[in-house]
Chains A and B, each alone.
Chain A
Amino acid sequence: MPPNPQLNANGELQHLLSIEGLPREILIRILDTAESFVGVTEREVKKVPLLRGKSVFNLFFESSTRTRTTFEIAAKRLSADVINLNIAASSQSKGESLLDTVANLSAMQADMFVVRHASSGAPFLIARHVKPHEHVINAGDGRHAHPTQGLLDLYTIRHYKKDFRELTVAVVGDVLHSRVARSLIHGLTTLGVPEVRAIGPQTLMPAGVEALGVRVYHDVREGLRDADVVVMLRLQNERMSGALLPSAQEFFMTYGLTAERLALAKPAAIVMHPGPMNRGVEIDSSVADGPHSVILPQVTFGIAVRMAVMSMVAGH
């Protein structure tokens, strides 16, 4: 295995490309740093000058409103200049290659690239070609990773549950296509969560997923039993009916999170979802809006986590 491209020679975070391969200490440091930023986001003046004068380019080769917005807010609260590029609609359609696009933006004195791309591994390719002072943050690549989402999920779990080493975490739904699930699973296993469960039909489980350190359940009731944390994954519209699943209704019937199913989990269980939610497909409204749900706090923590990551890769 080549050296981890995310870390510099001193073992510090140079880019954030994936949670996999990050040492426990770095994960903890990111969460601790995020905690200090939660205070900032609650102040009246929500800015700190850590990235003053730096340019952050949001490179979204795949459209996204929510993630891009939270990165933008995070960068602005660090006093950076933010440039949003919706590349799906510009140069790529003119045939410019990914690396040419990046080289051009680099010539405009970028300091940080926040990259979302439909192809797994695209941020790794970019990270291999940027200048030494430039940093790459993966904002979601194909099915591979969504590390800031994984980190904000970890932050949320730590906020409500404290000790990772006593938890049972159930991840429910389309694990096959989910970068959120992969990032969270790596984070949970790195932080010592003893039981991580992946729940879903065989058609939505990737081959050999057990090797990531999860137990696979096809029966949702069995999988939810005594869970401390339930993470529902988003089911993409185009996958709701076809060869993977017959219909959204049947998915809800067999795997959707209802109050009755949630009752099988621990009484103090929390329910998470990376958003955007499909109510009535993955999750019942009564659960999404119910007392166990921490879905909105996840969004708030997400900004602090992204501030932490940006400031850390920039060397703070």
Chain B
Amino acid sequence: MRTLIRNGRLVDPASGRDAPGDLLLAEGRIAALDGDAKGASADRVIDATGLVVAPGLIDLSARLREPGYEFKATLESEMDAAVAGGITSLACPPDTDPPLDEPGLVDMLRRRAKALARARVYPIGALTAKLEGERLTEMAQLAAAGCVAFSQANTPITNTQVLWRALQYAATFGYAVWLRAEDRWLAQGGVAHDGEVATRLGLAGIPVFAETVALATLLELVRSTGTRLHVCRLSSAAGVALMRAARREGLPISCDVGIHHVHLSDRDLGYFDAQCRLEPPLRSQRDREALAKALADGVIDCAVSDHTPVDDDHKQLPFGEAEPGATGLELLLPLALKWGAEQKLGLAQTLARVTSSPARILGVGAGRIAAQAPGDVIVFDPAADFRIVPEALRSQGKNSPFLGHELAGRVRATLVAGKVVFEQP
């Protein structure tokens, strides 16, 4: 199967290229571009006049809710949503039920995902059994089953002895560890950023130092163990400052931010809008600005959707009782474009944060437009608006702080391994 994408604006975030051109995909890969692709014979020709042709998005955190939470979402619905949102690779955190803490579960998830033949799925294994923070998982066996990293999702390890040993053990085999920086004791009972808004609304707060105390601990352990650490969902300006210093020091670290957190702050809670109940919490306007800026200057490597489908029964509740999380697969591209425009970045630079940067962290060859790169490509219209309404979302998760908003950036076609897996006029 040879597919030719013609007359598009070809953007390669890895090289910074942003120029018109043609692209030929064959045998699952990018076979040729520009002059080499011109006039090539193909089974299928996509006319991308007026559209952007770019690598598919790589999302380092998307909950597919399988196994265990099929009432919230199924692999089918979420894989449909992913490719509709232009996401061609995604990493799923281990907080399923049961958690991804044994090879059989990982294997099953990969098989199911593969059979659906849409986005590529990279499971993140649990760092400790049942995510309980007590006993290490069989990391070598999980890695053999296909886990690309190990994580605790949203349940940080409280016992620092276990945390230290887990990092040591992972470092022994060169496994990457992806952790959120949150001190569980300091965050205990909290549902919103500990500040003026939470005080006004009478919501129990999660202080910024719940993040920085845990982050300082993690960085200190990385200094000792040399573990490759990816810090997930940074939420505060103080956290950004710690990361900036640690990177300057040369520690083997990287980090991401939830795409909602570069757009929203605790002010958006309004009158208890449970759609804004997220983990970590939306923090102050100043924190939001620092995150958006750090994502631009590279202290934060990439943005993730942190896709978390939540059904109405668990969202239509008083703020503190509502389940945290927002749907994100179909909003990642438009929200990334909106962020890039606000930061006055070019398209290549903007897309780098959701393509080539996360590809580097994941250690995969996708995320670039170059000969012999994987044939994971999207064609999108950066100017086409769409209204975020439940009916417009393929994900089973209709929970979004952006419901009712208009966002620009519509995917017209998504190709994974050279095959069209999604198309809309």
Contacts and interface: CB of A to CB of B under 8 A. Distances in A.
Is the A/B pair a real complex?
A: yes
Interface of A: 1-2, 5, 20, 97-99, 117, 119-122, 124-125, 141-145, 179, 182, 206-209, 211-212
A209 B198 CA distance: 10
24 contacts: A1-B270, A5-B271, A20-B200, A99-B316, A117-B318, A119-B318, A119-B319, A120-B202, A120-B203, A120-B319, A121-B203, A121-B271, A122-B318, A124-B272, A125-B272, A142-B203, A142-B320, A143-B204, A179-B202, A182-B202, A206-B205, A207-B195, A207-B198, A212-B199
Contacts of A2: 270-271
Contacts of A206: 198-199, 205
Interface in B189-209: 194-196, 198-205, 207
A211 B199 contact: yes
Contacts of A179: 202
Interface string B217-247: 0000000000000000000000000000000
B36 interface: no
A212 B200 contact: yes
B369 to A, nearest CB: 42
Contacts of B203: 120-121, 142-144
Nearest to A209: B199
A182 B203 CA distance: 12
Given A97-B317, A206-B205, A207-B205, A120 B199 contact: no
A6 to B, nearest CB: 9
A124 B199 contact: no
Contacts of A99: 316
Interface in B160-207: 194-196, 198-205, 207
Nearest to A4: B271
Nearest to A146: B202
A121 B321 CA distance: 10
Contact of A121 (B194, B205, B207, B319): B319
A208 B194 CA distance: 8
A297 B29 CA distance: 82
B122 to A, nearest CB: 36
Contacts of B270: 1-2
Given A20-B200, A182-B200, A206-B205, A125 B320 contact: no
A207 B200 CA distance: 10
Closest 3 CB pairs of A and B: A144-B202, A121-B272, A143-B202
A17 to B, nearest CB: 8
Contacts of A119: 317-321
Residue among B195, B198, B274, B318 with the highest chain A CB neighbour number at 10 A: B318
A145 B271 CA distance: 12
Given A5-B271, A211-B196, A145 B318 contact: no
B313 interface: yes
B272 to A, nearest CB: 3
Contacts of A143: 202-204
Interface string B262-277: 0000010011101000
Contacts of A5: 271
A141 B319 CA distance: 11
B167 to A, nearest CB: 29
Interface in B298-328: 313, 316-321
A208 B318 contact: no
Contacts of B317: 97-98, 119, 125
Interface string B58-86: 00000000000000000000000000000
Given A207-B194, A207-B195, A211-B196, A125 B202 contact: no
Contacts of B199: 206-209, 211-212
Nearest to B204: A143
Interface string B316-358: 1111110000000000000000000000000000000000000
A206 B200 CA distance: 9
Nearest to A128: B271
Contacts of B267: 1
A98 B267 CA distance: 25
A68 B186 CA distance: 35
Contacts of B316: 97, 99, 125
B349 to A, nearest CB: 33
B30 to A, nearest CB: 47
Nearest to B208: A207
A20 B201 CA distance: 10
B54 to A, nearest CB: 36
Nearest to B197: A208
A208 B272 contact: no
Nearest to A175: B199
Contacts of B200: 20, 182, 211-212
Contacts of B321: 119
